[in-house]
C-alpha cells in the first residue's frame, strides 16, 4: 500500500513538472523566433542584401515600430496577421495599411509573462501619446477611448471618411472579450 502511494506521488510530481514545462518551453521557443526576426529587421535596417535575410522573415522588410511611452512599449508591428505572426509580436489587422491614413489597426496577444506584446495595453490612459514609426517618419496619435468589446464588434476596425485613427486591440485576461483603444492622429514628423 505504501509503495503504491509513493509511486502515485512520484507520478503526480512528474506530470506536474511536465505541465509546468510546456508553457516555459513555448515561451523559450517564441523568444528564439523573436530574436531571429529582430536580427532580420536589423539586417534590413542596415541595408543588408536580400541574400543575408532568411526567406522565412521576408516580411520583416515592412515592419513598423509602435511606441507607447506610458507603458514603456517599443515593439515592431508585422504587416500581416496570421497565427504565426501573432505569436511573434504585434500585427496589422488590415492588409496594406498606411500610417496617417484611415484607421490603422493593430492586434497583439497579452503574452504569458513580462511586458511583451500587449500585456499592459489596458494600462494606457486616455490622453496618452502613441507613435508609429515608419522609416524616417513618426505619426503621433492621442488615445481618446478605451473600451471592452465583443470579438464580433469588428466595426471598430473600419475606416471613417476624413478620420485618421489608430485602433489597438488585445484580449481580456479570460480571452472572451477584447480591449480596444482608439486614438486620433495629432502630428506627423520627419526624423
Q: Which residues are catalytic?
A: 109, 171
Q: 110: phi > 0 → left, psi -120 to 50 → alpha, else beta; which?
A: alpha
Residue 82: strand, helix, or coil: coil
Q: What are phi and psi of 162, to 5 degrees?
A: 80, 0
Q: How far apart are CA 39 and CA 52, in angstroms?
A: 10
Beta bridge partners of 91: 78, 107
> Among 75, 105, 72, which Cα is nearest to 89's?
75
Amino acid at each position: 500500500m505504501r509503495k503504491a502511494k509513493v509511486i502515485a506521488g512520484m507520478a503526480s510530481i512528474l506530470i506536474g513538472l511536465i505541465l509546468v514545462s510546456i508553457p516555459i518551453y513555448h515561451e523559450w521557443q517564441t523568444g528564439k523566433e523573436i530574436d531571429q526576426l529582430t536580427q532580420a529587421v536589423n539586417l534590413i535596417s542596415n541595408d543588408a542584401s536580400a541574400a543575408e535575410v532568411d526567406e522565412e522573415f521576408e516580411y520583416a522588410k515592412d515592419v513598423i515600430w509602435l511606441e507607447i511611452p506610458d507603458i514603456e512599449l517599443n515593439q515592431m508591428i508585422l504587416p500581416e496577421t496570421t497565427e504565426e505572426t501573432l505569436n511573434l509580436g504585434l500585427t496589422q489587422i488590415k492588409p496594406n495599411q498606411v500610417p496617417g491614413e484611415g484607421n490603422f489597426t493593430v492586434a497583439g496577444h497579452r503574452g504569458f509573462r513580462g511586458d511583451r506584446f500587449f500585456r499592459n495595453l489596458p494600462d494606457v490612459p486616455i490622453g496618452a501619446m502613441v507613435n508609429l514609426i515608419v522609416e524616417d517618419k513618426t505619426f503621433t496619435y492621442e488615445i481618446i477611448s478605451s473600451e471592452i468589446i465583443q470579438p464580433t464588434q469588428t466595426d471598430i476596425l473600419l475606416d471613417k471618411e476624413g478620420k485618421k485613427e489608430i485602433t489597438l486591440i488585445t484580449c481580456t485576461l479570460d480571452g472572451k472579450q477584447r480591449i480596444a483603444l482608439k486614438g486620433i492622429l495629432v502630428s506627423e514628423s520627419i526624423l
